[in-house]
Amino acid sequence: MPMATPPNPSVSAVVFDFGGVLITSITNQLSKIAQRHSADVPTMLAIMLGPHESGHHPWHRAERGELTVAEIQTELAPWAAAHNIVLHGDEIEALMSPGQYTVIQPMLDKVADLKHRGYKTGLLTNTFAEFRPTMQQDLRFDDFTAVVESFAVGSRKPELAIYQATADMLGVSHEEILYLDDFPQNIEMAQSFGWSTIQVSDPLQAIPDIEQFLDKYSE
């Protein structure tokens, strides 16, 4: 039976990361690019998407809305040089080109289902302004109580400000949030705010994990 209100007011909002949770991870694409440069995937990940710590890497700056996507590629040169790699100049384009990921439809259906049952739903994503039209094709924004995009907030995970902005935009306290993300550094910061978390490795497996968590906290 669908419930009109959450079973326990202590968990009233479920928040979803985009890459690796609602869609397949774009980091899968990195292996092809890494192969072209005879590099391993972690090295290419560090060059193109930057280190785990948030900072001045061009990908991070674009996610905070400080650079355009078109500006990322040339800014990557010193990061590649640190690994003795000279980029060809089309790596960002290759990574961002259409058709590089699949939408996890059962997870999108779960978002709609939770909202229907009275939970607040959130999208919390590190993303670029230029990517928004694509994301709006992939997702039904109406299924989300709040859409929190790093470029719009001017802060990216795992920086503090975007977690606070998420709670504010949802209108809930941190302890009321259950959060799904595939990156451990994002999960750790969420936990430091008091959010409950599910670290996603297989999105299809994470769907029953959500229900298991909500059942547990309804007793």
Q: Give me the residues that bind Mg ion (CB under 5 A), please.
A: 17, 19-20, 182
What end-to-end distance do the CA atoms of the chain give, in Å?
16
Quote the CA–CA distance of 97 and 69 in Å, as a whole number. 12
* Of 27, 44, 26, residue with least CA distance to 35: 44
Smaller CB separation from Mg ion, 176 or 181? 181
| Smallest distance, Mg ion to C-beta of residue 110, A | 16
Smaller CB separation from Mg ion, 120 or 157? 157
Smaller CB separation from Mg ion, 77 or 188? 188
| Smallest distance, Mg ion to C-beta of residue 199, A | 10
* Of 75, 84, 103, 106, residue with least CA distance to 18: 103
Measured at the alpha carbon of residue 178, what is the angle toward residues 173 and 182, in degrees to the nearest 5? 130
**Which residues make beta-bridge pairs with 179?**
15, 197
Helix 160-170 and helix 184-192, axial crossing angle in degrees, nearest 10: 60
| Smallest distance, Mg ion to C-beta of residue 125, A | 8
Smaller CB separation from Mg ion, 15 or 85? 15
Smaller CB separation from Mg ion, 37 or 110? 110
Smaller CB separation from Mg ion, 17 or 91? 17
| Smallest distance, Mg ion to C-beta of residue 5, A | 30
Name the strand (E) or helix (H) holding 2. none
| Smallest distance, Mg ion to C-beta of residue 183, A | 5
| Smallest distance, Mg ion to C-beta of residue 200, A | 8
Judge contact between 6 and 118, C-beta under 8 A: yes
| Smallest distance, Mg ion to C-beta of residue 25, A | 7
Query: Could you check whether the bond before residue 78 is cis, i.e. omega within 30 degrees of 0?
Result: no
Quote the CA–CA distance of 190 and 158 in Å, as a whole number. 8
Smaller CB separation from Mg ion, 176 or 182? 182
DSSP class of residue 28 equals: G
Judging by beta carbons within 10 Å of its beta carbon (0-12, 13-18, 19+), is residue 89 exposed, middle or buried? exposed
